[in-house]
Amino acid sequence: MKNTTPPGGQEVGGVTVANPLWLAPLAEISVPAVRALFRRMGVGLTHTEMVSSSGLCHGNRATLAMLPRRGEAPVVLQLFGDEAEEMGRSLEIALIRGERPQAVQINMACPVRKVFRRGEGARLLERPPVAEAMVRALVPFGLPVWVKTRLAGRGCPLSTGDFCEVLFSAGASCVALHGRTAAQMYEGTGDRDAVGAVAARFPGRIVGSGDVYAPEDVQDYLSRGCAAVLLARGGVRDVYSTPKILQALGYGGAPEVLNPTPAQRVATLMNLADDMAEEVGERGAMILLRRFLSGIFKGLPGATFLRRSIGTVTDRPSLESVVRRWEQVLVEGGTDHGGSGTVAG
Ligand SMILES: Cc1cc2nc3c(=O)[nH]c(=O)nc-3n(C[C@H](O)[C@H](O)[C@H](O)COP(=O)(O)O)c2cc1C
C-alpha cells in the first residue's frame, strides 16, 4: 500500500493529518519532549500520555504538566477515569489550563491492575453504559471524541465490534484498537485479524495498534482497512524507524532522519536532553533519556561504553562529553572502550 494521502492531508476522526503513522499514547514516555522528537521524525499525530481526570479536577501540578503545549498540533489529549461526570469536568479544566488539542481520547485500554481495579482503562469494556456516558459527557465540548480500547475478553458483555458500535452511537468519531485483551497485557502477539474485522465493520474509523515495528506491519494494518496505525514500543526501540516506515509508504523523509550520521544522532540525543531538562530539570532528564539511548543509537558499535558512561551522568556537560568521545572513537574506527556490542533495542 502506498501513500494515498492528498497533498492537504487526510482526515481521520475529524482531525487532518499528513500521514497515517502516529505516536501512541505511552505513559511516562509520550511527554512533550518525546512528542517533539517524534514530530521531527515525521509522525502524522502524537498523543499525550494517559492523563488522570481526577488529577486534573484536583489541580495536581504533575497532571497539569501533561497537558498539550503550544505548537503541538495535531495532538490528542488522552484522559482516563472511572466516571463520566468527572471526566467532563476534567476536560473543561484541561481546555482552560492547557493548549486546545485536536481531539480528546478516552483511555479504555489500560490493563494495569491499579487502573483496572478502579473501574478505569480496559475495565470499561466490562461497563458499556459507563463507557457510553463518558463519550456523551465529552461530546458537548466540540472536540472530536476518540476512544482507545482493546479486544473484548472474558467478562465483557459485548463483542469488540458491538462495544465500538456503542461508542460510535454515543458520538465517538474514532476508535484506536489494540489487538490484545486486557488479560493479555502486552504479552504474545496482537490479533490483527480481530482488529481487521472491526476495521471492516467501521471503515475509516478504526486505528490499529499492536506489534508495530516495520513498514510491513503498518502496511498490514492499512490493508485491513485501518485508517492509521500507532507506533508504540517499536518507536522507543528504534527512534529512526519512523522515517524508514514513512519512506516505505511513499511519504519521503529528510536525509538527516533517513540516514543519520553519528553526529546527527548525537544532535537528536542532545535536543531531547535539552527539551526534557526544560520539563523536569537536568537530573530528571538524564534518567528519562536512558530509555531512549538504545533507540537513538540502535545498530551502532559502542553500546557498552555508552550505557556504562551515560548510566552515571547527572548533568548536560558530562552527557555531551561522553557522546562526543563516543562519536570521535566511532569516526576514527577506534576501540569500543569496554565492549563491542551494538546498541540494540
Ligand atoms: C510503556 C507503555 C506505556 C503505555 N501507556 C499507554 C497509555 O498511557 N495509554 C494508552 O492508551 N496506551 C498505552 N500503552 C499501550 C500502547 O499505546 C500500545 O497500544 C501498545 O503498546 C501496543 O502496541 P505495541 O505492541 O506496538 O507496543 C502503553 C504501552 C507501553 C508499552
Quick: pLDDT tens for 119-155: 999 999 999 999 999 999 999 999 999 999 999 999 9
Per-residue pLDDT tens digits for 198-222: 999 999 999 999 999 999 999 999 9
Residue type, 113: R
Of the residues 240, 257, 274, which one is the last residue of a structural domain? Answer: 257
Per-residue pLDDT tens digits for 269-319: 999 999 999 999 998 898 889 889 889 988 888 767 787 788 788 899 999
Q: 73: helix, coil or strand? A: coil
Answer whether 82 contacts ligand 1 (Cβ < 6 A): no
Write down the pLDDT at residue 342: 38
CATH number at residue 316: 1.10.1200.80
b/e per residue 108-125 (b: at least 16 CB within 10 A): bbbbeeebbeeebbbbbb
What is the span of the domain harbouring residue 314?
260-332
Q: Residue 172 domain-assigned?
A: yes
Tell how far the Cα of 318 is from the centroid of ligand 1, in angstroms: 32
Tell how far the Cα of 186 is from the centroid of ligand 1, in angstroms: 8
Based on the fold, state whether residues 270 and 233 are members of the same structural domain.
Answer: no
Strand runs labelled E in 88-244: 103-108, 145-150, 174-178, 206-209, 228-231
Based on the fold, state whether residues 68 and 209 are members of the same structural domain.
Answer: yes
Site of grid cell 511527554: 31
Tell how far the Cα of 48 is from the centroid of ligand 1, in angstroms: 11
Answer whether 87 contacts ligand 1 (Cβ < 6 A): no
Q: Which long-range contacts (CB under 8 A, 24 or more apart) does 272-280 make?
A: 272/33, 272/34, 272/37, 272/296, 273/316, 273/319, 274/316, 275/32, 275/33, 275/36, 275/37, 276/31, 276/33, 277/316, 278/33, 279/31, 279/32, 279/33, 279/65
Based on the fold, state whether residues 237 and 157 are members of the same structural domain.
Answer: yes
Q: Residue 342 domain-assigned?
A: no
CATH number at residue 54: 3.20.20.70
Protein residue closest via CA to atom 28 of ligand 1: 26
Answer whether 150 contacts ligand 1 (Cβ < 6 A): no
Per-residue pLDDT tens digits for 220-232: 999 999 999 999 9
Tally of structural domains, the chain: 2
Based on the fold, state whether residues 109 and 178 are members of the same structural domain.
Answer: yes
Q: 335 pLDDT exceeds 70?
A: no
Q: Higher confidence at residue 335 or residue 246?
A: 246
Q: Higher confidence at residue 234 or residue 2?
A: 234
Q: Which residues pair with 21 in a beta bridge?
A: 229
Q: Residue 16 domain-assigned?
A: yes
Tell how far the Cα of 271 is from the centroid of ligand 1, in angstroms: 24
Q: Residue 3 domain-assigned?
A: no
The C-alpha torsion from 157 through 159 and 161 to 164, rounded to 10°, is 20
| CA dist., res. 37 & res. 120, Å (int) | 30
How far apart, in Å, are the Cα atoms of 248 and each of 49, 136, 245, 255? 28, 39, 5, 14
Based on the fold, state whether residues 136 and 276 are members of the same structural domain.
Answer: no
Q: Residue 110 domain-assigned?
A: yes
Question: How many angstroms separate the first and last alpha carbons of the chain?
Answer: 27
Q: Residue 57 domain-assigned?
A: yes
Burial class (CB in 10 A: 0-12, 13-18, 19+), 343: buried
b/e per residue 314-323 (b: at least 16 CB within 10 A): eeeeebeebb
Based on the fold, state whether residues 272 and 311 are members of the same structural domain.
Answer: yes
Q: 345 pLDDT exceeds 70?
A: no
Tell how far the Cα of 253 is from the centroid of ligand 1, in angstroms: 25
Answer whether 47 contacts ligand 1 (Cβ < 6 A): no
Based on the fold, state whether residues 66 and 191 are members of the same structural domain.
Answer: yes
Q: Residue 201 domain-assigned?
A: yes
How far apart, in Å, are the Cα atoms of 220 and each of 8, 167, 196, 212, 227? 24, 25, 9, 10, 12
Based on the fold, state whether residues 277 and 146 are members of the same structural domain.
Answer: no
Of the residues 257, 289, 306, which one is the last residue of a structural domain? Answer: 257
Question: What is the chain's alpha carbon radius of gyration, rounded to the nearest angstrom?
Answer: 20
| CA dist., res. 263 & res. 13, Å (int) | 39
- pLDDT, mean over the chain: 92
Q: Is the ipTM of this complex over 0.90?
A: yes
Answer whether 230 contacts ligand 1 (Cβ < 6 A): yes
Based on the fold, state whether residues 37 and 126 are members of the same structural domain.
Answer: yes
Protein residue closest via CA to atom 3 of ligand 1: 26
